[in-house]
Structure 1
Amino acid sequence: MYLVKGAAYAHTHDDYNRYMASLTNVNPALAAYLNEADPALWSRIYCPRDRYNIKTSDIAESINSMLKKAKGYPITYLIEFITKKLGRWYWKRREDALSLTTTFSRGIELLLAVREHYADMMTVKRIDGWCFHVRGGQRDCLVDLEAKSCSCGMFGVEKISCSHAIKAAKSARWNMSTVVDGYYRKDYVYASYAANIMPNVEHVPIGPYI
């Protein structure tokens, strides 16, 4: 599973090929099965669309876990249960987004802080106005701030600055908000949950006592 996850989460084709070569040596049948399944369906580097830092699209398990209490009840109760639960989730996440005092979501801010810690241990050499050679970490990398890419692959795939890109941005005195995709900003987090999920009130009688 270590090799399968490595291939699935790889940020570069070289890393993907390295994991798959090791997997072929250990379990040729599994490697053949994964290749036949089409890497575009399970490997992040071969995904035809941007996946950002999300490794899965399967939200069904989260919903199934939430529905455990309501399973076995009539469908009308189940729908009402889902509506109320989602309404609470959306409201909570809107309030959480409004309370943010940072530029990005809490998870991204924490991730950037960790990567900045490692970036401070690296050295950087400026090649031109946009390109930098950053040394340190698991490998030395070339960073292009204009293209928002790094040879480690992480910057281009996740749309979040890797440690190399952070080192380059700090060297160029760039604000971090310019090298992290806007979708991670707190206003996008709020917009994701801006819609209200209204409860079904048709069955509630309307009268002077309400």
Structure 2
Amino acid sequence: MTSNNAESFNNTSRDARKYPITTLAEFLRYTLQTWFFERRTLAMESNKPLPTKIEKKLEDRIEATKTLVVQPLSHYEFYVMDGDRDSQVNLQTKTCSCRRFDLTGLPCTHALAATLSRHINPYSLCSWYYTVDAWLCSYAETIYPVGNEEERDVPDDISRRKVEPPPYKPKTGRPKTKRTKSKREKIIMQRHCSHCSGKSHNRATCTYMIPTASNK
């Protein structure tokens, strides 16, 4: 499991972090509203069983099956010869000894080779979660605007409450704006040259010659 989704969303809201909390919440709501509409529209316009990226991945794997040799073991089991990486496929349990099919739910090259040898539709082996129907279900709900504050129906016992901000003691130094990186993340520092003010190198490796009075 990775945090790619969280990192992507964190990068999207980078400039909005400095907003007040209500403005930040509205920014996040509007962003999700836009994303849901755009992705829902793409899913509805698709005329294929799988989304474009998954369709391309499946086509590339089908193209790679041309170099494989399939030996049937039973009606559902096959031995697929792939050079030094031979694998055993079971189409009934949707498994392959290479484990790629088992872990991802998308047929690996060996499973596709066995499928095509039996003239079975490759789409029938794909997990439902890769289909356009699943894609459409992910963005089926509509995110609505919050509306004007004056139009909200707030109970009297709630409106009478006065909410104070939590106690806060300012820390010395400049306020932190970037998140703390984990130990496994690499910290990439941009080098600057003190000789020519360029990037990606330093003074010792600089090849730029600054003109002097003697060179003019």
Q: How high is the TM-score relative to the length of structure 2? A: 0.67
Structure 2 residue 134 is matched with structure 1 residue 188: yes
Equivalent residue pairs, number: 152
Distance 1:137 1:197, change over 3 A: farther
CA distance in 1, matches of 2:30, 2:132: 25
Q: What whole-Å deviation, never above 9, does each CA across 1:77-121 have from its counterpart, x for those lacking one? A: 100110001100010100111111111111111111111111111
CA distance in 2, matches of 1:137, 1:167: 14
CA distance in 2, matches of 1:76, 1:149: 49
CA distance in 2, matches of 1:83, 1:175: 41
The letter for the 2-side match of 1:130 is Y
Identity %: 33
User: 1:205, CA displacement in angstroms?
Assistant: 6.2
The letter for the 2-side match of 1:74 is P
Higher share in helix: 1
- Provide the residue aligned with 2:119 in structure 1: 173
CA distance in 1, matches of 2:73, 2:16: 60
User: 1:149, CA displacement in angstroms?
Assistant: 0.5
Q: Mean alpha-carbon deviation: is it higher for 55-64 or for 168-177?
A: 55-64
Cα RMSD for the two superposed structures: 1.7
3-state secondary structure, aligned to 1:101: coil
Q: What whole-Å deviation, never above 9, does each CA across 1:6-47 have from its counterpart, x for those lacking one? A: xxxxxxxxxxxxxxxxxxxxxxxxxxxxxxxxxxxxxxxxxx
- Provide the residue aligned with 1:105 in structure 2: 51
3-state secondary structure, aligned to 1:129: coil
Distance 1:132 1:102, change over 3 A: same
- Provide the residue aligned with 2:26 in structure 1: 80
Higher RCO structure, 1 or 2 (CA under 8 Å, sep 6+)? 1
- Provide the residue aligned with 2:66 in structure 1: 120
The 8 Å contact of residues 118 and 137 in structure 1, kept in 2 or not, is answered as no
CA distance in 2, matches of 1:110, 1:204: 50
- Provide the residue aligned with 1:8 in structure 2: none
3-state secondary structure, aligned to 1:183: helix
Structure 2 unaligned spans of 5+:
153-216
3-state secondary structure, aligned to 2:149: coil
- Provide the residue aligned with 1:129 in structure 2: 75
Distance 1:146 1:57, change over 3 A: farther
User: 1:72, CA displacement in angstroms?
Assistant: 1.4
3-state secondary structure, aligned to 2:13: helix
The letter for the 2-side match of 1:59 is N
CA distance in 2, matches of 1:95, 1:138: 45
